[in-house]
Structure 1
């Protein structure tokens, strides 16, 4: 299992109290609510340009498309730099629709073209992992 993915899953289980009470999810009985773990391998030489683009543009455009970002991390293993964030979605169909809308957003596609022309490739690889909380999660037991 990917090292950071394992660490992020541990964080979600071990520290559920860090999330504000109003942001906690009712443990779903039908598996409809989910979170999504996104991991980007970032080019080390363009790391600052990546962070600037994400902070100044992606966050704003994602918010406009209904994205709910729970937390954001960076992991530098020495071998590679990864940018990791956790999203909350009401269901998979909403997640798929919002990603489709975001990725085709004219402002976002223009910003990506501009930053690629200025800084080169910012991201080497992107992975997304939809996560559905199981009914026996420690978070559910604390209800």
Structure 2
């Protein structure tokens, strides 16, 4: 008899995750270099599926936002845990602190598609 935990993750509804980082003008080039040259590479190691990335600016602050797609919330939490524990990523963050503070407030939102959404998945 199959248990609920035996159900493949692929049958669960996909979720999107929106991450928004406050970034600072004086360290923005260093932030983008770190994300582009290191974070993306290490994230691929843990099966991160980044859909798109943006930079936005308001009168109060500059933000970097990116959208990810995950097969389910369990996978999302597992991969983030592995990424945050990655020794190479920890060392890169330590080394790049010499440039100053690169990230302020971080917003993290899990997005669940509604049944009437015209598109259920963003990536195929």
State the TM-score, normalizing by the size of structure 1. 0.73
Q: What's the C-alpha RMSD, in Å, of the aligned pairs? A: 1.3
Q: Compute the displacement of 1:132 (Å).
A: 0.9
Return the alpha-carbon distance in structure 1 between the equivalents of residues 50 and 42 of structure 2. 12
**Residues 1-143 of structure 1 mapped to structure 2, 5 A cutoff:** 32-116=13-97, 118-139=98-119
1:7 corresponds in structure 2 to none
Return the alpha-carbon distance in structure 2 between the equivalents of residues 96 and 74 of structure 1. 25
Contact 1:31 1:132 in 2 (8 A): no
Normalized per residue, the structure richer in helix is 1
Q: Compute the displacement of 1:125 (Å).
A: 1.1
Deviations 1:32-82 (A, max 9, x none): 210000000012211110000000000000001110000000001132000
Q: Compute the displacement of 1:139 (Å).
A: 2.7
Contiguous gaps of at least 5 residues in structure 2: 1-10
Task: Kindly tell me the number of residue pairs found equivalent between the two proteins.
Answer: 110
Contiguous gaps of at least 5 residues in structure 1: 1-29
Q: Compute the displacement of 1:31 (Å).
A: 6.2
Return the alpha-carbon distance in structure 2 between the equivalents of residues 51 and 41 of structure 1. 12
Return the alpha-carbon distance in structure 1 between the equivalents of residues 101 and 42 of structure 2. 20
